[in-house]
Amino acid sequence: MSYVSEVLDKISKKYPEQAEFRQAVKEVLESLSPVIEANEEKYRKEAVLERIVEPERQIMFRVPWVDDNGQIQVNTGYRVQFNNAIGPYKGGLRFRDNVSLSIIKFLGFEQIFKNSLTGLPIGGGKGGSDFDPKGKSDREVMAFCQSFMTELYRHIGADVDVPAGDIGVGAREIGYMYGQYKRITKTYEGVLTGKGLSYGGSLVRTQATGYGLLYFTDEMLRSNGKDLKGKTVAISGAGNVAIYATEKATQLGAKVVTLSDSTGWIYDAEGIDLNAVKEIKEVKRARLSEYTNYRPNAVYHTEGNVWEIPCDVALPCATQNELNLDDAKKLVANGCIAVAEGANMPTTLDATKYLQENHVLFGPGKAANAGGVATSALEMSQNSERLSWTFEEVDKKLQDIMVNIFRKLDDAAKRYHMNGDYVVGANIAGFEKVVEAMIAQGL
Ligand code: NDP
Ligand code: 2IT
C-alpha cells in the first residue's frame, strides 16, 4: 500500500464520522502523491503525513448565553490549532448551526496550505460554533460573542493564534469579541483580524477575499490567453465573499448574473445591482428574495441552483459541497471556461475531476480565496507596527500576493509535469514550505 493510502486508511478508521475532514485530507494527500513518492523514505521516517493530518491542539467548550426571553441557551465552541510550523495559528471563526468538529477540522487543515501559499508567516487554525446569528437580535449576538470569548481568550494571542471572520462572523461579531478580549486581558493587541477601521482594522480586509478571488481568476485566465472582459459570471452566496467578488468582477468588465443565499437564488440577466444586494444583506440583514423589489425584471428561484444558468466563469462563494457532479456537467454543457472557488471546498471531488477532464480552468479555494487571510496577515503587520496603510497600498499588496500565488501553483504543477493542474500545484506549493519548516524544527 502506498504511504498516502496507508494514512488515508488510518484517518477513515479513526474518524469515520468526520466526512468533511476526510474529504479535505483525501483531496490534498492524493494530489500530493508525486511529491510523497519522490521523498517517500524521508517522509515516512519523519512521519510527515501522520503529523500533518493531526491537529496540534483542539479545544471544545461550552458557550452559555441568555436569549431575549431570559432563557439560557447553550452552544458548543471550537478552536482547532492545526499547525504553527510557519507562524502563529491563523484562520476564521464560523458561526452556523451545522458547525461540527469535522467542519472545523476540514477548514483548519485547508488553512495550513492556504496560509503557506500566501508567502506570509501564518500557521493554520479554525474555530467557530453551532450558533447562527441569523434572526438573533444584536443583544443576543453580543451576549453569545462575549460568552464565546470568555473561554477562547485563554487560548489565543497576537503571537499565538489570531482568529478572524468566516460564515456568520463579520465586523459586528469581531467587534463584540474584540471588546470582550480587551476587557478580560487588559491588552490592546492585534488578536483578531477583520476589526473595524476605528480600532485597528485594515483597509481592504472587508473586500479582500472577493477582490483577491478576481485578481487570481484574472491571472489564471490571462495565463491561458483569456480575460474577464465581457464574460458572464455566475456567483453563489450573497455574503462577504460573494458581494466583493461581484464588485471586482464588474470593475474588471464582466457581468455577474446570479447570487444565492440559503433560501433561494436570483438571476438578473441585466447584471446584478450590487447596491441593492448590499442594502438587503449588509444593512437590513434580510433574505435575497427581496431583490425583485429593487429589480422587477430579475427572477427569484427556490428550486435548482445558480449553476444551471449559462456562464463563462463560475465562482462558488457560499459553502462546502455546493457544486456537485450534476452541476459540473451543466457548467461544461453550457460552455463554462473557468471555475474558481471563493468558498472553502465548494466543489465535490468528482465535480472537480469532471471539470478538469473537460478542460475547464480550475482554481482551488486554498489559492483562489487566500486574499482574505493574506490581508488579515497585512492587518497583523500594521497592528504590530502601530500604523495604518492606505487603501491603495494594501490593495496593491493583495494584487501582488494573488498573482504570486497563481505563479507558485503554475510552477509547482509544471515541475511535476502536470501543467495546468492548479489543484495539484496548490497542494504541492503549500505543502513543501510547511513540511520543510516542520522537519527543520524537529519533533
Ligand atoms: P457570509 O456569512 O458572509 O456569507 C455566506 C453566504 O453563503 C450567505 O449568503 C449564506 O446564506 C450562504 N450560505 C452559507 N451556508 C450555506 C449553506 N449551507 N447553503 C446555502 N447557502 C449557504 O460568509 P463569507 O462570505 O465570509 O463566506 C463564504 C465562503 O467563503 C465560506 O466557505 C468561507 O469559508 C469562505 N471564505 C471566507 C473568507 C472571508 O474572508 N470571509 C476567506 C476565505 C474563504 P444565508 O444568508 O442564507 O445564511
Ligand atoms: O477561510 C479563510 O481563509 C477565512 N475565513 C479568513 C481567515 C482569516 O484569518 O482572515
Cα(239) to centroid of ligand 1, in Å? Answer: 6
Ligand 2 atom 9: residue of nearest CA: 91
Strands (DSSP E) along 143-243, which ranges? 161-164, 232-236
**Which phi and psi angles does 321 have, rounded to 5°?**
55, 40
Looking up cell 497583523 gives: 380
State pTM to two decimals: 0.98
State whether the beta carbon of 92 lies less than 6 angstroms from ligand 2.
Answer: yes
Q: What is the pLDDT of residue 442?
A: 96
Burial class (CB in 10 A: 0-12, 13-18, 19+), 376: buried
Burial class (CB in 10 A: 0-12, 13-18, 19+), 225: exposed
> Per DSSP, what are the bridge partners of residue 78?
60, 128
> Can you tell me whether residue 14 is helix, strand or coil?
helix
Q: Which residues of the chain have pLDDT under 70?
A: none
As a dihedral over the C-alpha atoms of residue 284, residue 286, residue 289, residue 292, rounded to 10 degrees, the angle is 0
Contact criterion met (CB below 8 Å) for 359 and 332? no
State whether the beta carbon of 140 lies less than 6 angstroms from ligand 2.
Answer: no
Q: What is the pLDDT of residue 124?
A: 98
Q: At what angle do helices 422-440 and 391-415 cross, to 10 degrees?
A: 100
Q: What is the pLDDT of residue 50?
A: 98
Cα(377) to centroid of ligand 2, in Å? Answer: 10
Cα(343) to centroid of ligand 1, in Å? Answer: 7
- The three cell numbers of residue 268 are 438578473
| Percent of the chain that is helix, strand, coil (3-state, to 5) | 50, 15, 30
Q: What is the pLDDT of residue 185?
A: 98
Q: Tell me, what DSSP letter sits at residue 197?
A: G
State whether the beta carbon of 427 lies less than 6 angstroms from ligand 1.
Answer: no
From residue 37, give the alpha-carbon distance in Å to each of 6, 43, 57, 236.
Answer: 13, 9, 29, 37
User: What are the tens digits of pLDDT across the range 313-348?
Assistant: 999 999 999 999 999 999 999 999 999 999 999 999
Report how far residue 326's alpha carbon sits from residue 411's, in angstroms, rounded to the nearest whole number.
Answer: 31
Q: What is the pLDDT of residue 393?
A: 98
Q: What is the pLDDT of residue 398?
A: 98
- Respond yes or no: is residue 126 known to be catalytic: yes
Neighbours of 422 (CB within 10 A): 25
User: What are the tens digits of pLDDT across the range 154-186?
Assistant: 999 999 999 999 999 999 999 999 999 999 999
Which of the following is catalytic: 90, 105, 114, 126?
A: 126
Q: Which residues contact 434 (CB under 8 A, 6 or more apart)?
A: 52, 83, 85, 86, 112, 113, 116
Ligand nearest to the CA of 261: 1
Q: Tell me, what DSSP letter sits at residue 442?
A: -
Q: What is the pLDDT of residue 417?
A: 95
- The three cell numbers of residue 47 are 512521519
